[in-house]
Structure 1
């Protein structure tokens, strides 16, 4: 699916790990995919029934990919289901936290707090410019996605803005 491919490609951009201090770990990469998926689902939710159907397909693909990835790295069959369930719970928690932070332009503290707990939760405290930069980036992506045509998104075309370089 083109939408999921665009999400994974964006989540793997080296700027996030180099400039924004996102941990370059399995957890950090999972969180970057989740962050971009949540932003995409937020936009698709504004389209109506077609958007909701595409959202479900995207969500299902995300977790099918996570299942496959866990198996590829050697997680045993008996553990995969538990790990995927934990990942789904993490997804929903992040979705709620990011949604609360994005719903109000004045909610930067809520958004940066959610990012500190989730995106940077497995690392030492990120530098303040990285944390603020990620919050700004999320708002830019949200605005960018809102400006993209419904038909364009429904056709599987998704364009993310380049992350700004912060910490060089």
Structure 2
């Protein structure tokens, strides 16, 4: 087997391992009870999905600031893994094979829509970010202003914490998220 083939296989395997670690960290972070008990996120399938998207948004933004093919590939592998897991979860919930594809496609559209909405809102300021959170993360609940403010503080603090982490560590799948209960608005 040529060395180039071995290297491509090894690189792909390394990216897959990194994506698995990053996705596990996203899921673990998104399951923190404080999001649901203190920050007003609905403890439903939709609420959990929207929170996963929010945390994935923060990670994808950070990976996007690494100007390399490797970063784009790790980000894409993490996205692919996330939606493969969504597919599997829907099947385990009893969604029929014909319905899974449509739901996963809608979930992917929601993911990209929320990424665009959060980016636009961040450019427009705090009021726009609060409104974007209301439309996306809090769409089926009515959080208190303090909860929305705390979630915005979490986003800003988390973004700074991710920025402080080294590119090489992130590309290897090592990421540390702030405990949401320690962030104050």
Q: TM-score, normalised by structure 2?
A: 0.85
Q: For the residues of structure 2 that align with 1:157 and 1:102, how far apart are their CA atoms?
A: 26
Q: Name the residue aligned to 2:24.
A: 5
Shift in alpha-carbon separation, 1:165–1:145, aligned structure 2, 3 A: closer
* 1:86-125 equivalent positions in 2, closer than 5 A: 86-103=106-123, 107-123=125-141, 125=142
Q: Name the residue aligned to 2:97.
A: 77
Which structure's CA Rg is the greater one?
2
Shift in alpha-carbon separation, 1:164–1:101, aligned structure 2, 3 A: farther
Shift in alpha-carbon separation, 1:142–1:165, aligned structure 2, 3 A: closer
The answer to whether the 8 Å contact 1:4/1:61 transfers is yes
The answer to whether the 8 Å contact 1:15/1:165 transfers is no
Q: Following TM superposition, by how much is the alpha carbon of 1:122 offset from its aligned partner in structure 2, in angstroms?
A: 1.8
Structure 2 regions of 5+ residues with no counterpart?
1-19
Aligned length: 164
Counterpart of 1:16 (choices 23, 35, 52) is 35
Q: Name the residue aligned to 1:154.
A: 171
Q: Name the residue aligned to 1:127.
A: 144
Q: TM-score, normalised by structure 1?
A: 0.93
More helix by share: 2
Q: Name the residue aligned to 1:39.
A: 58
Deviations 1:117-150, CA, capped at 9 Å, x for gaps: 1111022x11110111111101111111111000
Q: For the residues of structure 2 that align with 1:163 and 1:116, how far apart are their CA atoms?
A: 18
Q: For the residues of structure 2 that align with 1:135 and 1:112, how far apart are their CA atoms?
A: 7
Q: Which structure 1 residue ranges, 4+ long, deviate > 4 Å from structure 2?
A: none
Q: Following TM superposition, by how much is the alpha carbon of 1:165 offset from its aligned partner in structure 2, in angstroms?
A: 6.0
Structure 1 regions of 5+ residues with no counterpart?
none
The answer to whether the 8 Å contact 1:112/1:132 transfers is yes
